[in-house]
Every structure is written in structure tokens, then in C-alpha cells.
Structure 1
């Protein structure tokens, strides 16, 4: 019986892109090796948001899919809290694998250390390493950290870890085509581009008629759902845009994160009354909010590293018959303009462009995105990616 070690920091029932990507992929992979193999997922107890709690078992067996969920110390979203959390996860995965054998190591990583953990385990077992890279951590951290002293000591260490990790992999999947140039130096590695996709829950919504919006609506709603962190930079765009748009527009922000305090502070400072900030909610309730929205909003902070990324939120929002308003640049901008009809893209943090685009966009126009749905079904992508993984068994 062959054993695949599957590493992902987030897994169902957690609410985040890492969970939404890896939960269905692990199931498809387990189904493909049924009778000849077992997939053991090493993940964490739901921890993405401090304001969202879901029950989950520390150990779960679903046929040949085994899930180990590791409890983390209480934390918020600060850097030291994240370091402690990853250290706990890292050490516990090592402990749980003592005395066991493995045939393949798979790691899905947005922050470098899940990939590095995969490297450590693959070296230990002398087995092949397959990486799924969802973000370029060194690139991002270089933009986010402002202290020259911290950068001086931290970046060389991170780059060394990154080089060791990526060089060891036999296969690296890049979730965004914008990552390709960064990975040119790594020779002898097989690359693929299995992106995020549209989940069945959203495709079911897409197949049903959605409500029509009318120009007579007195207040237009703009919905954002997801992380409220430095990477999204909502505090730099939403209070300012809400102030300029006025009471004819209502922002609904659903989520949590490390920069939520900055957003609330900016709203209070400007005395903005047309922005409502809510706690994270489950997907079925989120779908209802998306269906009621006049506009769906996506934003990334104005950082060079984000010019390479392709946010998973794009695939989620494109399922609904509402115009997409996206403050992104680089590869994400190219992708949206090429693939998604009835969308408006503006430069990150450009308040004037966002306000003008919202006012000029026709919310009553019928939207047909069937071509996009067929091309980016998560299930199709997962089956193709699972096939690319099991070839190394």
C-alpha cells in the first residue's frame, strides 16, 4: 500500500483559499489511488479567523483519506503569532511521522514553510517532492516588511530556505502564470499551471436564474468577502471610496484579519456611515450575500509582489451575475480583462478610478459567463492535477 503525505496548513472546515483548494483536491487524489494507496493529510484545526469557529476532529478516516488536524496555540494575525503557529504545525507533523514510511510528499504552500516542511520530510524518506505554490513568500515578505534591519537579517535566510526547497522538488505547480519568471532559475524541475477554479457550490448557483437588479434601487450594494489584511489594503480604498460615493451606495465587508483595526479606525476617522463590517460566515450564507449584491469587489494592496498573483477570489466572484470591480494589477489584471466579462479593473488604491468605474458601470446588463464556467471548473482542474501527482508514485 503506497502512502502519500499531503501537507496543507488549511483544510475543511476552515474558511480560506487554501482550504477550498486542498479539501477537494485531496479527495480526488485519494479516490484515484483507492485500492493501491492512502492519502494522509496533515493540516490544522480551523484557525484562519479568530472570529470564526468550526468543530472538527483531530483525527478522521474517510476510507483511504486520513486527516490529521493539529491544534495551534491561540493567536491573532501578527507575525510572531504566525511564526508560533507554523512552528507548532511543523514540529507536530514531524512527530506524527516518526517511524512511518512514505512514497511521495505533496505540499501546498502559500507561506514558504509548508513547502519547506515538505522538503524536510522528502529528504528524510528519500522520496520525491511535489510542490503546489500558491504565493511567492520571499517576494511578498520583502514588500510587506518595511524595516531595513529585519530585511537584512531575514531575507538571506528565507532565500536560502527557498532555494533548497524549490531545488529539491521534482515537480512544482504554479497557481498563477505570473509566477513563471520567478522560477526560471530552477532547472531540472517539471512545472505546471493548475490554477484555482470554481467550486461546485458556486456552479450550482450559476446554473440557476439570479435576481435582476433595477435602476430604481435607491441604494446599490458593493460586497467584499475575505481576508482583511495588509495584502488586501482595504483601509486604503474602502473608507475613501465610500465617502466619495455617498449614501446611494452601501459597502458590506464580510471577513476578518490583521488589518481590520486599520479599516475600522479609518472609517471612524472619516465618520463614514455607508460601510458595514461583518464577521466571516459559512459559504451557503455568503452565496446569499453575493446574490443580493449589485457589485462584487476585490482588491489587493499596491505592492510589486502582488503583480504576479492570481487571487482565488476571482473565480468565486465571477460565478455571480453581478459586475466585478477589481483593484488589481499585473497578471491578475490581464487575467480578468481577458477571461471575465462585465468586469472593471482599476489600479490598486486608486480611489478616483474606482468611484468613476462604479458610477459608469451598468448593473442591469445581462451577464453570460458560461464559457468561463466550463473552462475553470474546480473538479476538472483537480482531476488533471491529481493525475500529474500520481505519476510520481
Structure 2
């Protein structure tokens, strides 16, 4: 089977869409299938092309047996609705033109971003091949939630297109049960949907093979109780609230470590400087293969989002990475993510944007050694239950049925 996958995020980018796509495609190659990924020059989240790459009209490389075609797009930093829309739309156009020369048996397009699926739909019509809409985000609802778009004509138009694409797809693959319910409630047949959640890469995130001692010493955190956040510093993640909490912690042993970049990074650095926060350290983005060592260097994995009904439907991939490393999760997300963490007792949940609750739960993790050990052990159970290899095989079965 020849699989064409369209995504605007792919390694060496290290965000969740890039990681999920790469790991699934690699498994499919191992199963003997031909996989081609059309993507753009790596630039997320800074909006700057990575060293060794160029923003050219067409370039090819091979990544672990996956043929990767990179096309030109309008590149901008992850901020500003109009600029980001131009970024997303330009990739939809150039990925479509590149896809015309391919001979796929099936086409997959993933969101976010939403415009990628336009390309998948158009190619399926030209090629007369089935296409799959992988729903990683409820767009445009999610951008309304973070305040980047208000209700009105533009929002209503985008939502109409969203529903049209769901209906036109041969298969819809939401990443959470809550996404499936949302789509079903809006008229998308449950029978054409298959939930494939994010999962754990048990090969990369190996607690026995990771060593963060040198990192702790390098960052001056040797005797600290470190709360780590690894990922995008974006509008949805509410990290300014976390800094506000950090400023009220009297326990000098507790230290926050933020690793990554994003549209809010400069603002967060400014807040930390103005408030003279001594218990906060920022680190630039790191390669994916180094993330396990950095997680091994922290005591708690922090996973926050803004308080919103929309975010009750998401399951951040960070919880699977932390669980694989047997690292207790401090989760500030309600809904399905909370249900998973509590089902396996792999972390403690606090109410999003509730300062007192966060500080209480963090203090409990630091004080209660038996609780800490039990949660750490339970992480391994959660990780095994969401093994990425098994989930990739499940998705492949669905693709084979369509073809």
C-alpha cells in the first residue's frame, strides 16, 4: 500500500503532531508499506527555518524509510491570526500541487492546522482515492477558545467548511473519545469515526536508559524539587498563571523548569524578570531524543491548559511521555485527560487556573513520599496501555480496509 500523509509538522520539529506522524509512519514502513510525507521546511514554533534546511519549492529526503517531500510555504512565527492563516493556507496550496505527482492508494491529512485537510480533500478528488481526516484539534473552535478568533462570519464560514470536510472524508480519526462525541453531536456518523489516541513511545522514553543527573548539575538544580514543563509555550498553555503561582511559593527547594519555545515565550521571560523570580529557569528547545534525559532530570511533569470546556476534550501527549518515564504528572486539565490520569493513578490533578489548588497538590507530591512512589510506578501501567506501536497498527488496519 502506498500511503500519502500531508502534515505541516514533521521532525526535526518536536511538537506533538510531528512526533505522532513520524512514529506512525515509521511503524507502517516497518510493516512493508510505502509512505510519503508532504510537509514544509521545519520552522515551528519560532517561525525560523531550521539550520540545514531551506524554504524551497520542492526538496526531498528520506527519514527512516519514509520519503519526505518538503514544499515552500509562507513562514511566520506562531503568532498573529492573519499571518498564521497565510502560513497555513500557502502550505495547503503547495502541498496540493506536490501531491498531484504522487500515486497514492490512500491519502491522510492531519489537523492542526485545519487547511492541511483542504489539500487532502482536493487530492482525493483528483486522484479518485480515499482520504482520511485525522482530527488532532477541533479547529476553528480551539482558536476561538484562546481568543485568536471571535464568533462571526469568518468563524461560521470556517466551521461550515470543517463539517463539510468531515462528511466528505472516507474515515475520520479523532484522537480522543470526546472529539468523537463532539463530531457525532454535530451530525458526523459515529460509524465512520475511529478513535486513535496519542500514545507512548516506549523505545525512546526508557526510564532505565535515561540519565538526567548531568542536566541537573548543569542547571544548578542538584538539590531542588524540580517541576518540569517540556513543550510549546503558547496561548493555550496558561504558563503566565504558572509563573504567578511560582512567585508565591515560599519553599525554596521547589523550582520550575520550562523547556521549549512558542508565541508566549518572550512575554513569560519578561514576567519572570519583572517579578524577579528566582525559582524559575527557562531552557531553549531541545531535540526530541534528548527529552527523556531532561524528564529524568525533573521530579514532576507539569501539564497545564487554560480553563475551558474545549480543552476538556483534549489529551496532551505530555502525559504519555511522563508516564513512560515513571514521572508523576501534575495535571491542570479537566475532562478526558483527567479521567485517564486518575484511572491509572499516574498523577495528581488540580483545577485549571486555581492557584490554591495547584500549590496544595504540588506540596502534597513533595511531602508524601509514599504517594510519590506509588504514582511513579503507576505511570508504567498507563504508558503500556497506550503503546504507540499498537495504536499505529490499529490505524493501519483501518487504512487497509479502506483501500
TM over 0.5: yes
**Post-superposition offset of 1:209:** 9.8
> 2:390: which partner in 1?
380
TM-aligned CA distance change 1:89 to 1:340, over 3 Å: farther
Partner of 2:194: 192
For residue 168 of structure 1, report the CA deviation from its aligned partner. Answer: 0.6
Does the CA-based 8 Å contact 1:237-1:350 persist in structure 2? no
> Matches of 1:93 and 1:283 in 2, distance apart?
25
Q: Choose from 359, 362, 377 the match for 1:368.
A: 377
User: Residue by residue, what CA displacement relative to the aligned partner does 1:203-242 show, whole Å, maximum 9, x if unpaired?
Assistant: 432578998x9xxx85311111100011101012233234
Q: Note if contact 1:174-1:192 (Cα within 8 Å) is conserved in structure 2.
A: yes
Moved more, 252-261 or 355-364: 355-364
Instruction: Give the TM-score of the pair, scaled to structure 2.
Output: 0.87
**Counterpart of 1:192 in 2: which secondary structure?**
coil
The question of whether the paired residues in 1 share the 8 Å contact of 2:207 and 2:326 is answered with: no
Question: Aligned pair 1:42/2:38, yes or no?
Answer: yes
Deviation at 1:61, TM superposition (A): 4.1
- CA distance in structure 2 between the partners assigned to 1:225 and 1:168 by the alignment: 36
Give the distance between the partners of 2:84 and 2:268, measured in 1 at CA.
21
CA distance in 1, matches of 2:190, 2:319: 32
Q: CA RMSD in A?
A: 2.6
CA distance in 1, matches of 2:321, 2:190: 34
Structure 1 partner of 2:219: none
CA distance in 1, matches of 2:238, 2:252: 23
Match of 1:53 among 50, 54, 63: 50
The runs of 5 or more residues in structure 1 that have no matched partner are: none
Note the 1:277-356 alignment, pairs <5 A. Answer: 277-341=282-346, 343-356=347-360
Moved more, 220-229 or 46-55: 46-55
TM-score, structure 1 as length reference: 0.89
Shift of 1:262: 2.6
Q: 2:362 aligns with which of 358, 361, 364?
A: 358
CA apart distance, 1:191: 1.4
Query: Does the 8 Å contact 1:128/1:169 carry over to 2?
Result: yes
Moved more, 181-190 or 21-30: 181-190
Structure 1 residue 391, shift from structure 2 partner: 1.7
Structure 1 residues 328 and 63, CA gap change in structure 2 (3 angstroms): closer
Whether the 8 Å contact between 2:312 and 2:334 is mirrored in structure 1 is yes
**What residue ranges of structure 2 are gaps of 5+ in the alignment?**
217-221
Aligned length: 382
Structure 1 residues 22 and 235: CA distance shift in structure 2, 3 A: same
Cα offset for 1:351?
A: 1.3
- Distance change >3 Å, CA 355–CA 62, structure 1 → 2: closer
